[in-house]
A and B are shown apart, each in its own frame.
Chain A
Amino acid sequence: MGAIENGIALVLHWDVLLTIFLAAAFGLVVGAIPGLTATMAIALLVPVTFFMDPIPAVGAMISCSAMAIFAGDIPSTLMRMPGTPASAAYTDECYAMTRKGQAQLALGANVLFSALGGLFGTFVLIISAPLLAEVALQFSSFEYFWLALLGLACAIFIGTGSPLKGMISLFIGLFVASIGLENPAGIPRFTMGNTDLMSGVDFIPAMIGLFAMSEVIRSMVSGAQDWDVKQVALGNPLKGWGHLFVKYWPQQLRGNITGTAIGILPGAGADIAAWVSFAMSRKFSKTPEKFGTGHLEGIVESTSSNNAALGGAWVPALVFGIPGDSITAIVIGVLYLKGLNPGPTLFLNNPESIYAIFFIFILANVAMVPLGLAAARAGTALLNIPRRILMPIILAFCVVGAFAVNNAVYGVIIMLVFGVLGFLMEEHEVPVAPCVLGIVLGKMLEESFVTSMIKSDGSFLGFFERPIAGGLGVVTLLVLLIPVWGWLRGRMRRTQPA
């Protein structure tokens, strides 16, 4: 037990705690600004950590990233501007709650379930990191192909309205994902000789366009009239939370487990976790018709899921130095700089550092609650600003955010094109969320398919030969085929009596 106590003692210094707190506040600000991602927040921290001791350096990165992922939900809820693809899955649901005057309730639930999800992911990390890392390492392109397909299948369940139009939106997203040079073949596709187009279409400016800019246009059409709803104040958050926790514990638990499981895989992360959880929540819900109208159920499940995934990504990172996402990729570099070389030996030779890292994870998720609540309250105050003043300012943020993604005007052009596209799509009742899903998953689907075919010398059997791949394949096919079968049966019944 000595190592655990030593680990905690390493953290309990005022300077370490202060560093963690400041990094958390920084992550909160960066994450809340649309276009700036958790990865960027961490990258900005790197030069600062050069001059720090190992534990505060790693602590700063953990608390900063946890806070930034949660903070992505704030502009997503208030302005329909998802900060990260991980919050895009439930942006519309949160925004619908804001339109009903329940912004504080939505954000409060985001804070609580993000923190709980993060804690769940941390406990899994503590208990079974080495074991889980072994499982995660068994995932090859065959398994990732099924996972990507399973993710795409979610489009069938998340869209409200016509499923056909949802499919069209998904295919537009898949087309957008195929633009550029970043494909397994390494040749430029649909770039028309343009250098910028070679880098393809980054999903962050596309997302800002599809969600936020289209909303600005729509709001301008009606002269940016103020909403006639008043935002309901949350009051004592602890009272409401007890109720939420009791009511939504199955959703929360399911979200936590899904998120952690997907987060552990090095090739998949918080974004896929959030989409899968949101779709799952709707699928198993007793009131699926309420989804899309500002209903908490799906938000709870997916916000738990994306924060649980964050802890999961550290499993392969700490045990094998294999990054689970771009955040852990940076962290691995810092671990080396600080002499905490990741690997099984870190657990043997340096257990107190490992326990210190775990303890910081717990602290960061606990600190998320007061900081997040304060930010949510301050953020909701923004909604009191008249919308004819708010809309132009949101547009300015769209421009800066889209620029900051790759520090190029090209991002602003993407944002503009997708803003107009998103506006036109929604005028025609074509949902935009499946399009974002297509952009996010299209590359993974293609890469995993093409590389699998090279490995198996062109034999489709490869997708079922490996045990995990076979199992995932069967699940995916069932998820895809059951609605088709139900639809066919419904049709048969309808046509027979006539």
Chain B
Amino acid sequence: MRVNDLILAIMVIVGGVALAAAASRLPPIPGQAYGAEVFPLLTAVGLILCGFALGAQALRSGAGPAIALGWARERAALMRAAAPVAAVIAYMLLAPRLGFVLATALMTGGLFVLLRVRVVVAIPLAIVVAVITYYSFAYGLRVPLPRGLVEGWL
């Protein structure tokens, strides 16, 4: 799934202009002639110039269709692409309540099932992965992973 270079160029230019607008509102710093706004402004100028160059290149060589769907035509592929993103979001929402082990087991287990790993393999495997990760990080490396309901017994 991709948009053509002309649309990409317009997005880059719009991004650059927005950055320039936001940067120009930063306050001046006493004692610093080149204050907080200088580098973001230079970055914005760079983005805008690159955007125009890319746009010119696309116009010269023919931009092609506005959006090329490619794999995204397939609904199942779209769902699979969204799945890791959804899984990480679900983890962030669940971990503070359920704790690391359950949230991780749900995240990996869900993805296993989506990728057609058999459930009898997927569920125990997800739990084993979560428990081992918890042990090695929370105890071995002292990372304060979120504690929930089962971590107390581990």
Residues of A within 8 A of B (CB): 30, 33, 36, 40, 44, 164-165, 167-168, 171-172, 174-175, 178, 183-187, 189-190, 213, 216-217, 220-224, 388-389, 391-393, 395-400, 403-404, 407, 409, 412-413, 415-416, 419-420, 423, 427-428, 442, 445-446, 449-450, 453-454, 458
Contacts and interface: CB of A to CB of B under 8 A. Distances in A.
Contacts of B27: 187
Nearest to B70: A427
Nearest to A397: B133
A291 B43 CA distance: 28
A36, A171, A413: residue with the most chain B Cβ atoms closer than 10 Å: A171
B142 interface: yes
A184 B35 CA distance: 8
B77 interface: yes
Contact of A185 (B2, B3, B36, B143): B36
A453 B81 contact: no
Contacts of B92: 409, 412-413
Contacts of A183: 36, 39
B1 interface: yes
Given A168-B50, A220-B81, A427-B2, A178 B104 contact: no
Given A217-B81, A416-B85, A399 B91 contact: yes
Given A178-B40, A395-B111, A454 B71 contact: no
B80 interface: yes
Contact of B71 (A178, A222, A407): A222
B34 A167 contact: no
B43, B57, B87: residue with the most chain A Cβ atoms closer than 10 Å: B43
A399 B104 contact: yes
Contacts of B145: 400, 403
B14 interface: no
Given A175-B43, A216-B84, 15 more contacts: A168-B47, A175-B47, A183-B39, A185-B36, A187-B36, A213-B84, A213-B88, A222-B77, A388-B115, A396-B129, A404-B143, A412-B92, A419-B88, A423-B81, A428-B8
B81 A168 contact: no
Interface in B95-148: 95, 104, 107-108, 111-112, 115-117, 125-126, 129-130, 133, 137, 141-145
Interface in B48-66: 50-51, 53-54, 57
B154 interface: no
Nearest to B89: A416
B137 A220 contact: no
B19, B38, B84: residue with the most chain A Cβ atoms closer than 10 Å: B84
Nearest to B78: A221
Given A175-B19, A454-B31, A404 B141 contact: yes
A184 B32 contact: yes
A142 B83 CA distance: 48
B26 interface: yes
5 contacts: A172-B47, A183-B36, A187-B26, A220-B80, A399-B107
If over half of A's interface residues share one DSSP class (helix, strand or loop), that class is named, otherwise mixed; here it is helix
Given A187-B27, A396-B108, A409-B92, A217 B32 contact: no
B115 A220 contact: yes
Contacts of B38: 450
A168 B50 CA distance: 6
B57 to A, nearest CB: 7
A220 B83 contact: yes
A428 B3 CA distance: 8
Nearest to B96: A409
A30 B141 contact: yes
A220 B39 contact: no
B88 A412 contact: yes
B43 A392 contact: no
A427 B80 CA distance: 16
Nearest to B112: A392
A181 B135 CA distance: 35
A80 to B, nearest CB: 14
B4 to A, nearest CB: 9
A445 B39 CA distance: 9
Contacts of A403: 143, 145
B12, B33, B36, B77: residue with the most chain A Cβ atoms closer than 10 Å: B36
A400 B107 CA distance: 12
B37 to A, nearest CB: 9
A165 B57 CA distance: 11
Q: Can you list the 4 inter-chain pairs with the closest CB atoms, starting with the nearest?
A: A392-B111, A388-B115, A185-B36, A392-B108
Nearest to A458: B33
B150 interface: no
A446 B46 contact: no
A391 B8 contact: no
A360 to B, nearest CB: 24
A223 B3 CA distance: 23
B141 A36 contact: yes
A395 B108 contact: yes
Nearest to B49: A167
Contacts of B50: 164, 167-168, 171
A171 B36 contact: no
Contacts of B104: 396, 399-400
Contacts of B137: 400, 404
A206 to B, nearest CB: 15
